[in-house]
């Protein structure tokens, strides 16, 4: 109790520490996060070169997401027990090992081994999802939306670093993409150096008499704000992943080259993170629900542009809109979630949220290859249309849930 009531400059101290942590997490998002854009550019193409059936080309990407789904709750519990730094370092070790296994798989031409390496990479992906939550751990309530936004903005540098590294490495060795995965190993080696500067106390320092475990998972899911935040976060991330995973295959399948695919994904990732410089301010001004709703509408606009044709500019516009829609929808949903639980419930809520979000992403990623390669007898244009039409029911679900939340009678007392 003395930590809370002591007459310290609370308005300055927590945010002073929070800003330092945000700086570390921004650097991690920029450097370590670059590996995710690298993997999503080359993973489907590498899978296509290794798989005996093109319908399975995106399965390695799906296994990354599955690894993230299965490790989200254990990673959250591990960090609740041992601290953010230990969890993030553990994840970079897993990411490095996963990239090493994937590199070996490319060298020997083994699709099953490539999938095993991809699965381990999912542990890193899971931990990266917690960067945004870690940004709020030492922040004041007023600074939390901005802290989330700034950390997500670190992805802007990743959007430049990742695709450029792909251009430099994808054909740098006799085995295509082998040098790309070697570069990913090097990126993960930076993790322990970066996280040495992270200053987030491990939970558990609560006074002995103050054991308040918070609500159960079922009770949390019954909270309207938490439930809608999870639905909107899951839909925003899953649809972004569904379309982005298919994009390199669609671009190359429609007659453009790998460099065009890398540039389009780069523009997309820039659009994902560039708005983060002002998303937090927009949330503070207009409210979380308004920004989430804007994100859902922009995602719908992305699908409409993608369905209008397969010229290079249409790919660019659709993927830029996809990135902005994800940013508004996902950051807004994260801010909604952060406002709806107590510190004691943090481990349960964050782990459960990311389990559900990345569970949706896994299903989207798993569906992506089938929709793109097999739903229209291998016709890339028809496959691209199938991918984008699949967005509609989920956008209706998220939009309906958000409208219900805003329109429901407010509880009194």
12-21, 151-160, 343-352, 396-405: range with highest mean pLDDT: 396-405
Structure-token pair, residue 132? 């945004």
Residues 6+ apart with CB under 8 A from 352: 73, 217, 220, 221, 230
CA distances, 131 to each of 123, 146, 154 (Å)? 13, 13, 10
Question: Rounded mean pLDDT of 326-336?
Answer: 92
Structure-token pair, residue 69? 């789904």
List, for residues 158-205, the tens digit of each pLDDT value. 878 888 899 899 888 999 999 999 999 999 999 999 999 998 887 654
Report the Cα–Cα distance between both ends of the chain, in Å, rounded.
26
Residues 6+ apart with CB under 8 A from 111: 47, 50, 51, 52, 56, 105
Does residue 9 register a pLDDT over 50?
no
Give burial (CB, 10 Å; 0-12/13-18/19+) of 164: middle
Structure-token pair, residue 371? 């929709």
Cα(283)–Cα(319) distance, integer angstroms: 23
Question: Rounded mean pLDDT of 59-76?
Answer: 86
CA dihedral 247, 248, 253, 255 (to 10 degrees): 110
How would you write 313-337 as a 3-class SS string?
HHHHHHHHHHHHHHHHHHHHHHHHH
List, for residues 92-121, the tens digit of each pLDDT value. 999 999 999 999 999 999 999 999 999 999
List, for residues 202-218, the tens digit of each pLDDT value. 765 444 444 456 777 78
Count Cβ neighbours within 10 Å for each residue of 173-196 and write b for 16 or more, e otherwise: eebbbbbbbbbbbebbeebeebbe
Evaluate whether 259 touches 379 at the Cβ level (below 8 Å): no
How would you write 92-157 as a 3-class SS string?
HHHHHHHHHHHHHHHHHCCHHHHHHHHHHHHHHHHHHHCHHHHHHHCCCCCCHHHHHHHHHHCHHH
């Amino acid at each position: 109790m003395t930590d809370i009531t002591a007459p310290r400059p609370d308005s300055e101290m927590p945010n002073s520490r929070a800003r330092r942590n945000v700086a570390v997490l921004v650097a991690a998002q920029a450097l370590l996060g670059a590996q995710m854009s690298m993997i999503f550019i080359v993973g489907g193409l590498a899978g296509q070169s290794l798989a005996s059936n093109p319908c399975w080309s995106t399965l390695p990407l799906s296994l990354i997401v599955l690894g993230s789904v299965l490790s989200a709750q254990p990673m959250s519990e591990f960090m609740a027990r041992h601290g953010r730094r230990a969890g993030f370092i553990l994840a970079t070790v897993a990411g490095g090992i996963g990239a090493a296994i994937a590199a070996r798989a490319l060298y020997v031409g083994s699709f099953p081994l490539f999938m095993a390496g991809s699965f381990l990479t999912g542990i890193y992906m899971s931990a990266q999802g917690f960067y945004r939550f870690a940004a709020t751990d030492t922040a004041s309530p007023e600074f939390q939306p901005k802290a989330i936004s700034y950390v997500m903005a670190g992805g802007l540098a990743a959007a430049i670093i990742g695709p450029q590294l792909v251009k430099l490495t994808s054909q740098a060795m006799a085995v295509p993409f082998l040098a790309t995965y070697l570069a990913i190993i090097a990126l993960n080696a930076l993790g322990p150096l970066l996280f040495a500067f992270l200053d987030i106390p491990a939970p558990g320092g609560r006074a002995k008499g103050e054991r308040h475990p918070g609500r159960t998972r079922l009770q949390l899911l019954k909270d309207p704000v938490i439930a809608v935040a999870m639905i909107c976060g899951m839909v925003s991330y899953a649809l972004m992943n569904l379309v982005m995973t298919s994009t390199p295959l669609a671009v190359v399948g429609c007659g453009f080259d790998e460099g065009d695919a890398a540039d389009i994904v780069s523009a997309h990732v820039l659009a994902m993170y560039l708005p983060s410089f002002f998303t937090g301010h927009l949330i503070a001004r207009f409210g979380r629900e308004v920004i989430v709703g804007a994100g859902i509408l922009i995602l719908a606009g992305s699908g409409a542009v993608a369905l209008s044709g397969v010229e290079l500019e249409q790919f660019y516009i659709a993927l830029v809109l996809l990135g902005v829609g994800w940013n508004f929808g996902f950051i807004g949903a994260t801010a909604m979630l952060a406002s709806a639980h107590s510190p004691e419930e943090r481990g349960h809520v964050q782990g459960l949220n990311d389990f559900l979000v990345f569970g949706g992403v896994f299903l989207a990623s798993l569906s992506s290859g089938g929709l793109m390669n097999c739903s229209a007898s291998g016709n890339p244009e028809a496959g691209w249309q199938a991918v984008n039409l699949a967005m509609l029911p989920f956008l209706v679900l998220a939009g309906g849930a958000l409208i219900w939340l805003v329109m429901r009678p407010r509880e009194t007392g």
